[in-house]
A and B are shown apart, each in its own frame.
Chain A
Amino acid sequence: MIGGLFIYNHKGEVLISRVYRDDIGSQAADSAVFSSSGPFLGERLGGSVRNAVDAFRVNVIHARQQVRSPVTNIARTSFFHVKRSNIWLAAVTKQNVNAAMVFEFLYKMCDVMAAYFGKISEENIKNNFVLIYELLDEILDFGYPQNSETGALKTFITQQGIKSQHQTKEEQSQITSQVTGQIGWRREGIKYRRNELFLDVLESVNLLMSPQGQVLSAHVSGRVVMKSYLSGMPECKFGMNDKIVIEKQGKGTADETSKSGKQSIAIDDCTFHQCVRLSKFDSERSISFIPPDGEFELMRYRTTKDIILPFRVIPLVREVGRTKLEVKVVIKSNFKPSLLAQKIEVRIPTPLNTSGVQVICMKGKAKYKASENAIVWKIKRMAGMKESQISAEIELLPTNDKKKWARPPISMNFEVPFAPSGLKVRYLKVFEPKLNYSDHDVIKWVRYIGRSGIYETRC
């Protein structure tokens, strides 16, 4: 179980420190601790905890070599960390905990904080530290994660000062019964004049391609995010073109599916929000749930087959003698001409001994960024089935280093308005038997966004 939670800024100063168990720190004290800067915020840290805090700073944040593992073991104490921009969140424990649980908790914690005060930055954390301690008290109890549903939390942890005077006893007991009840994520008696829901399918596509255009590895990781404004306790049912479901139905109406030409996709694995009834998914593979109010992530999934690669990068690198390099890169968009890709950015790495670069591109803007050792080519918009080209002449400084340039891959960023995995939302049905609105009265919005993850082509 989590023994304590610390939030550091980039300098390694502690912004938030919350200790749940006494066992941490006593042993981590053994590890080498060189400097100690005072805790930023008021909490007086016990000597032993102080050591755990310092141990993480010395061994991870200020480590000589960048620490790449998110889990670090120092003096039989485990530190799990995630980094959001310049902020480090570290969970500390002495026990053999489920690491996935800890990270899930840390991500959730980030979500909760983002839901309360937006971007996680040093400034925001300093401004909201009372709120953060309140949240930490609520979502972790003796190191065990508790209800971390933003919607539910917001009912009793608010940013608008003390509200209890206005809160009736009734309301308070309602909160208690909701939080401790069966459907902890939604309270009763929600009413909207307009019943509306938004469904976003967000995917990131990852690719590694050989110079010859052979796909070495590719996968899509996607999320379905739902924002619901529905009255009462509605029962929802979500359907998509999952291969297993389609085939199951296909047995009954085989010709119908083939007629409609709907493609089905093979989902490798998926996880659901806690509101989804897993028993029903296991038996019928149907996704039914009572949604929390507001925004939440309904499911996460991953696919590896039949991925639509939105862009193809064709590199051409020619070394002219020891002091010159010619690079030509062609990108081709590979989707319906009616769609528009946005925020396209191609990053072409340059050798470490580059002394000068000349770039010519047909579209967009290209620039040599010395600080990143790369040529960055940006295109605002690009329609499907088009192609564009950049050529660059790189001058090199002869060095006495015999090492050959490692030729890192060309990477790319973009955003496209479709799901590269091929996922389609088939339906989202809403039933609310107690109130007088039906499925047809609900206004539904569906949006697909495909982004690049690590999208690289070797050159």
Chain B
Amino acid sequence: MPAVSKGDGMRGLAVFISDIRNCKSKEAEIKRINKELANIRSKFKGDKALDGYSKKKYVCKLLFIFLLGHDIDFGHMEAVNLLSSNKYTEKQIGYLFISVLVNSNSELIRLINNAIKNDLASRNPTFMCLALHCIANVGSREMGEAFAADIPRILVAGDSMDSVKQSAALCLLRLYKASPDLVPMGEWTARVVHLLNDQHMGVVTAAVSLITCLCKKNPDDFKTCISLAVSRLSRIVSSASTDLQDYTYYFVPAPWLSVKLLRLLQCYPPPEDAAVKGRLVECLETVLNKAQEPPKSKKVQHSNAKNAILFETISLIIHYDSEPNLLVRACNQLGQFLQHRETNLRYLALESMCTLASSEFSHEAVKTHIDTVINALKTERDVSVRQRAADLLYAMCDRSNAKQIVSEMLRYLETADYAIREEIVLKVAILAEKYAVDYSWYVDTILNLIRIAGDYVSEEVWYRVLQIVTNRDDVQGYAAKTVFEALQAPACHENMVKVGGYILGEFGNLIAGDPRSSPPVQFSLLHSKFHLCSVATRALLLSTYIKFINLFPETKATIQAVLRAGSQLRNADVELQQRAVEYLTLSSVASTDVLATVLEEMPPFPERESSILAKLKRKKGPGAGSALDDGRRDPSSNDINGGVEPTPSTVSTPSPSADLLGLRAAPPPAAPPASAGAGNLLVDVFDGPAAQPSLGPTPEEAFLSELEPPAPESPMALLADPAPAADPGPEDIGPPIPEADELLNKFVCKNNGVLFENQLLQIGVKSEFRQNLGRMYLFYGNKTSYSSRILTHCGPPGDLQTHLAVQTKRVAAQVDGGAQVQQVLNIECLRDFLTPPLLSVRFRYGGTPQALTLKLPVTINKFFQPTEMAAQDFFQRWKQLSLPQQEAQKIFKANHPMDAEVTKAKLLGFGSALLDNVDPNPENFVGAGIIQTKALQVGCLLRLEPNAQAQMYRLTLRTSKEPVSRHLCELLAQQF
């Protein structure tokens, strides 16, 4: 690099800067700057050309002023002129000014680009480097567009200097990161990989960075880099510390390059070539061996560099997850670090071990360190390290050590930092559930948890206890006994009261035999906590009381007295008041039988993912998945680990008590209770869709079995069909044909007809729907005179699958000319849906494959159940659905002649019941119905007001779900 010659010192600049530094106040500084700016302006204005030196000096001053925070609006031109200078310093200042001050001035950008282009084309390495640095520093889109093609050329050119190659690689990396689309992939990519063989270590380091970034997008292009990287790595690792001279850092050969190479290898699976793999394993072993050697220097830099390589090696080993030997060695190495003096190392060791624990090979090895980790949890001074220790304990937990770990975590919880308490609570809850050998231990653990850290026990945790206790007969008695004992503590947490209230209400009878926990004792124990609790808990306790009346008739008088007390009957809280009133009346009006039915024990909860796990995942973000899933590797534990087995659906007697608690699953278009805040108190326990015990699977199964004879059902049978090789896989359904929507509209109000017809093919439809189930027969008629193979596939679009289940039966693939083939579809509506499923049909005609995609005529209104009701009921329900989003209204022009009878038929075909004598105006049509889906029912009211003079309709729909209202409204509006 050219040395700064004498006279390049720019005395004027130094003087100016020291003037500014000596300014006593801001005003003085501004004055000085104004003066200097005026001076520079007059210099730049002068017609006489400035020499390079003064130009550089003034541009420097401008740069300095700009960096002080003042606006600079001139001098760009001079800076660009500097770029064409032949002196290094002048060029450098020019580039510096442009990197700092460039703006999207089109004219200047062109000039700058030109200058850069010249420099890139010059064979002078320093100038090329300057230009490359400028491109990287600016990194704008314009720059990228202009040079993205040139830089790869420079990078792989045989005659480029090492430093230029290095700069080019980094510049390309910068451009790629800024706008990946600009960097063209081409034959250079192959040659970039060979830079890994370059003599110059700097070039290799830069190239590895570039390749690591590029290969994330298209790994296949760079596959060849694996073997090169391995050989490079092995050369470095095996070299003596003095071999690499400039690149040896405190006796560690090329640590940065090693780390980068190891990172690069982590982008790929283990090498397939045995030789390469062997060499790599050798490398990794060498690194692990070296870690055991005594340090060559006491300096912290030495150990840092060494450990950086070591940790990167370990993460590569973890990434491969295929070398048991290495994994165990890595684990042992980390185990040593666990007791290291350096806190940072301990942190890193814990973190890496956390990922190691999820590998099946090293899980056992990790477990050997359990005592150290527990010790770390107790004694670490730094909270983040303790957090890692807790994570690791969670990850290494399995059936064998669950009890120990859970008890340690519980003990730690008492002293844990507030910030991580909730997370630990969740973890304890999950571990306890997942690895529970017997459920009494589980119940004990959770109750302990509530006792120790009640404030941090979220709803999900205690809901889960209730779900498990409810579903497991064997633990109910024990749970009742335990909560009863726990409640006897003088002060217990509100969550404990909630759990206790619920469990005693359900299973209090199981411990009533013991005189120490006789019904009156149970009641008075619960009631002693009543007044200290929040409204939600009190509401729950009131439900417990009414259940007591059923369980223990002898407590009836006491409980009625409590309910009758003014503090309940006239409670300021609506929910409490309502419960008190309803329960009191229920207990006095209903007979014992009715009471027994109404207040029957809760049915088991349906199986689903643990809500706690979901919550922990939410808390941790997506990254934490691996540590959480490890339990699945334990096949033997699946029976219990899943939590609760799905229970036979025979016990699905509707539980009216659920209804009482605000779950109106029963008939009409009743929206969720208006007083949502109050009604939801208990709904949460049942958690969402499963909240409707009355919708047991019995009727739907019966329906299915009567509809179809037991036949081998294979939803994807068609996929297995030997398809002509030329045909693409049947799974990719093309976009529907343009007329699909129109064809679909024909079927909104009718179930049978011709869905599609052209000169080759006719598709007829016959369908019937009942509740949330439907069966559809599709008839494919071959109109040609040739036999043809018809291949169909239908199914809901991806996101629809959770809403609609479609099962198809095998279709006879070969259809003779003029013949017809029938296909049966079983449809089950799971949730409300908006888009219809698609049907794709493929066949061959005259040697060319034909394909068409149609929309299946399945719309939400097909699952309508008409409901008859009186005018009064109708209006009451109409008012209940008065929220603006529940209503959809459309005013539109009639497309067909307005005929009352036709309209009536269409409305009936649409699925709703037509209600007469409801609307005061006899011209208007009023309908009601319920849309049946498996998950929920949507009540629906509609009103159609024709205006014969204007030839207009006004259609109003009210349903309890907003998208349904809008969708129905649109569907129906197209029919008139």
Contacts and interface: CB of A to CB of B under 8 A. Distances in A.
Given A10-B24, A355-B44, A356-B42, A400 B73 contact: yes
Contact of B35 (A66, A370, A395, A400): A370
A352 B38 CA distance: 8
Nearest to B71: A401
Interface string A397-433: 1111100000000000000000000000000000000
Given A354-B38, A372-B34, A400-B73, A395 B45 contact: yes
Contacts of A86: 24-25
Contact of B32 (A11, A356, A371): A371
A372 B42 CA distance: 16
Nearest to B30: A371
Contact of B76 (A11, A371, A400): A400
Contacts of A398: 74
Contact of A400 (B25, B32, B39, B105): B105
A352 B71 CA distance: 11
Interface in B105-122: 105, 108
A356 B34 contact: no
A352 B35 CA distance: 11
Nearest to A86: B25
Contacts of A352: 37, 73
A372 B44 CA distance: 20
The A interface is mostly helix, strand or loop, or mixed, namely loop
B31 A355 contact: no
Contacts of B105: 400
B618 interface: no
Contacts of B37: 352, 370
Interface in A256-291: none
A373 B34 contact: yes
B48 to A, nearest CB: 13
B41 A371 contact: no
A354 B40 CA distance: 10
A395 to B, nearest CB: 6
A353 interface: yes
Contact of A353 (B31, B41, B76): B41
Given A372-B34, A373-B34, A355 B26 contact: no
Interface residues of A, number: 19
Given A66-B26, A371-B31, A371-B32, A399 B74 contact: yes
Interface string B60-77: 000000000000011010
Contacts of B41: 353-355, 397
Chain B interface SS verdict (over half): helix
A371 B74 contact: no
Interface in A383-402: 395, 397-401
Interface in B557-606: none
A417 B41 CA distance: 42
A372 B24 CA distance: 17
B45 A355 contact: yes
A369 to B, nearest CB: 8
Contacts of B26: 66
A91 B403 CA distance: 66
A370 B45 contact: no
A356 B25 CA distance: 27
A355 B24 contact: no
Interface string A178-222: 000000000000000000000000000000000000000000000
B45 A356 contact: yes
A401 B103 CA distance: 11
Nearest to B35: A371
Interface in B801-830: none
Contact of A397 (B24, B25, B35, B44): B44
A353 B24 contact: no
Interface in A331-357: 352-356
A356 B47 CA distance: 12
Nearest to B34: A371
B20 to A, nearest CB: 13
B45 A372 contact: no
Contacts of B108: 400
Contacts of A370: 34-35, 37-39
Interface in A353-368: 353-356
Contacts of A399: 73-74
A353 B39 CA distance: 11
Nearest to A373: B34
Interface in B772-810: none
B432 to A, nearest CB: 44
A356 B39 CA distance: 9
B31 A397 contact: no
A397 B76 contact: no
A353 B42 contact: no
Interface in B372-426: none
Nearest to A350: B38
8 contacts: A11-B24, A86-B25, A354-B41, A370-B37, A371-B31, A398-B74, A399-B73, A401-B74
Interface of A: 10-11, 66, 86, 352-356, 370-373, 395, 397-401
Given A352-B73, A395-B45, 11 more contacts: A353-B41, A354-B41, A355-B41, A355-B45, A356-B42, A356-B45, A371-B32, A397-B44, A400-B73, A400-B74, A401-B73
